[in-house]
Amino acid sequence: MPQPRYDLVFLGGGCATLSLLTRLIESGACNGKRFLIIDPLDKKSNDRTWCFWEKGSGYFENIVHHEWTSLDFKQSGFSGSLDMGRYRYKMIRGIDFYEYCLQVLHASGQVDFLQDEIAGWGGEKPDSQGEILHLTGKKTGKIGVKTDLLFNSIPPDLGKKQPGIVSLLQHFKGIVAESDQFNFDPNRATLMDFRVSHEAGTTFIYVLPLSNNRALFEYTLFTASLLTPEQYNQGIAYYIGKFLGVTNYKIIEEEFGIIPMTTQRFPWYNNGAFNIGTAGGQTKGSSGYTFQFIQKRSAQLTTLLQNNSDWSQLKPTLTQLRGDAERFHFYDRVLLQVLASNYCPGDQVFATLFEKNPAHRVFQFLDNETNLLQELQIISSLPTWPFLKAAIKSWR
């Protein structure tokens, strides 16, 4: 039986795949092209929330659920309003993102979907219609397709401890809670509130008001292991009771997430696939922020694909594509080493960072967009000995 042919095949249908394909289709530069997305989930639930800072309007501005013009930081030794400059803090709900992107993809008539989990893949020498790709689906078994390019967003298994790799988990329980006793300013959010127990490790809460009586609370930890479900619930309830004086509230939505924070490098290209999303290193190792790094890579790839009509010849060019400067990966390693080795408590690190630097410079730094002078200003503001010790260890 002849294999079906697709110009691009995507393993995984999450944020990275949907961002890239939506941009490509809306650009109008891929008319007549065919795409295949393989993912075990149908993306019909509000399974996550993306929050990020941004200047001006972004590509997905029309589905921003809420944005905040003011941010606060709270810790026992330093609390204050953050100087955001021209940045705004924004929220996109997973379900809104999925619905928007999938509507674009379905309306194009160019995208096929296969609901399955891929257990492995391999390729043969290309023929005139592209590389013959052999996939193994857990439900559908052996699948054969022809394609010009394969993109993979399925992250590798990070469960195995590797020598020299520093890893933490950013894990969080979020609830959208509503109460007539709340009295929020919907334009002002709390980026980090460290006035909670740090018994398990670096712990803080985001408070993101959606109206005067409703907010998203994210109980967040940077630690090596997870808590029990009850511990997350207790942490949120304690915070709302102690600092907001509210014990009677209604939980509208809940979410739970785990984001890898690791010094492990994720290859851009391996095993015949170009890796995108977390699999391609677009999760910031020291912060866990992912959405904006995915958007930068998606914009870069869209431009490249727009400017080249014959995608079958693009593999050599794509393999040479580079990400952010290497020094930013070093900064990530140093901060993770400080946190993982407890050279300095996490709340003190972030309190110092935001007390001694305007938030807009910190945001630019965490976006890997600062110059060396700005980076020197940030580095010199941090506790010298813990970061020097971590830098020496990270350099080896």
Residue 381 near residue 353 (C-beta atoms within 8 A):
yes
Tell me, yes or no, whether 363 and 239 share the same domain: no
Residue 77 belongs to some domain of the structure: no
Whether residue 295 sits in one domain with residue 343: no
- Which residues 6+ apart lie within 8 Å of 186 measured at CB? 66, 68, 209, 210, 211, 212
Query: Could you give the CA distance from residue 234 to residue 131 in angstroms, rounded to a whole number?
Result: 53
Total domains in the chain come to 3
Q: 117 and 25 in one domain?
A: yes
What's the distance, CA 292 to chain centroid?
A: 7
Res. 205: pLDDT tops 70: yes
User: Residue 353 pLDDT > 90, yes or no?
Assistant: yes
Which residue did the predictor score with more confidence, 160 or 216?
216
Residue 161 lies in a domain: no
pLDDT of residue 158: 66
Q: Helices 372-381 and 346-356 sit at what angle, rounded to 10 degrees?
A: 130
Query: Within 13 Å of residue 43, how many CA atoms lie on the same side as its CB?
Result: 24
Cβ contacts of residue 128 below 8 Å, gap of 6+? none
Nearest to 97 by CA among 15, 205, 191, 213: 15
Answer whether 39's CB lies under 8 Å from 118's CB. no
Say if residues 258 and 170 touch (Cβ distance below 8 Å): yes
Tokens of 133: 């790709």
* pLDDT above 60 (res 1): no
Summarize pLDDT for 6-61 with one digit per residue, the tens. 999 999 999 999 999 999 999 998 889 999 999 999 999 999 999 999 999 999 99
48 and 138 share one domain: yes
Structure tokens at 336: 């993770």
Whether residue 79 is contained in a domain is answered as no
Residue 185 makes CB contacts below 8 A (sequence gap 6+) with: 70, 209, 212
Could you give the CA distance from residue 227 to residue 26 in angstroms, rounded to a whole number?
Answer: 42
28 phi-psi bin (left φ>0, alpha ψ -120 to 50, beta other):
left
* Pair type for strands 202-211 and 273-275: unpaired
Residue 2: band (very low, low, confident or very high) from pLDDT cuts 50, 70, 90: low
For CA atoms 297, 190, 353, 258, give the dihedral sign.
Answer: negative
Question: Does the structure show a pLDDT above 80 at 161?
Answer: no
| CA 204/CA 194 separation, integer angstroms | 4
Residue 83 lies in a domain: no
Indicate if the pLDDT at residue 320 is higher than 90. Answer: no
d(CA 184, CA 177): 12
User: What confidence tens digit (pLDDT) does each residue in 322-334 have?
Assistant: 888 899 999 999 9
What does residue 61 show for φ and ψ, rounded to 5 degrees?
-60, -35
Q: Categorize the per-residue pLDDT at 160 as very low, low, confident or very high, splitting at 50, 70 and 90.
A: low
**Within-domain flag for 20:** yes
Find the helix or strand (DSSP H, E) in which 346 lies.
helix 346-356
Angstrom distance (rounded) from CA 24 to CA 16: 12
Domain co-membership, 333 together with 303: no
Q: Is pLDDT of 396 > 70?
A: no
Are 315 and 330 in a shared domain? no
> Is residue 23 located within the same domain as residue 136?
yes
Is the domain of 44 the same as that of 106? yes
- The owner of tokens 């020299």 is 164
Question: Are 32 and 92 contained in the same domain?
Answer: yes
- Residues 224 and 141: their CA atoms lie apart, in Å, by 36
Tell me which of 244, 259, 274 is where a domain ends. 259
Same domain, 198 and 246: yes
Q: What is the pLDDT of residue 201?
A: 94
Report pLDDT for 279: 94
For residue 74, tell me if it sits in a domain. Answer: no
Q: Is residue 131 part of a domain?
A: yes
Asked whether residue 197 falls in the same domain as residue 144, the answer is no
Q: How far apart are CA 377 and CA 361, in angstroms?
A: 9
Burial class (CB in 10 A: 0-12, 13-18, 19+), 232: buried
Q: What is the mean pLDDT of residues 267-272?
A: 90
Does the structure show a pLDDT above 70 at 373? yes
Residues 92 and 171 in one domain: no
Domain that holds residue 202: 167-259
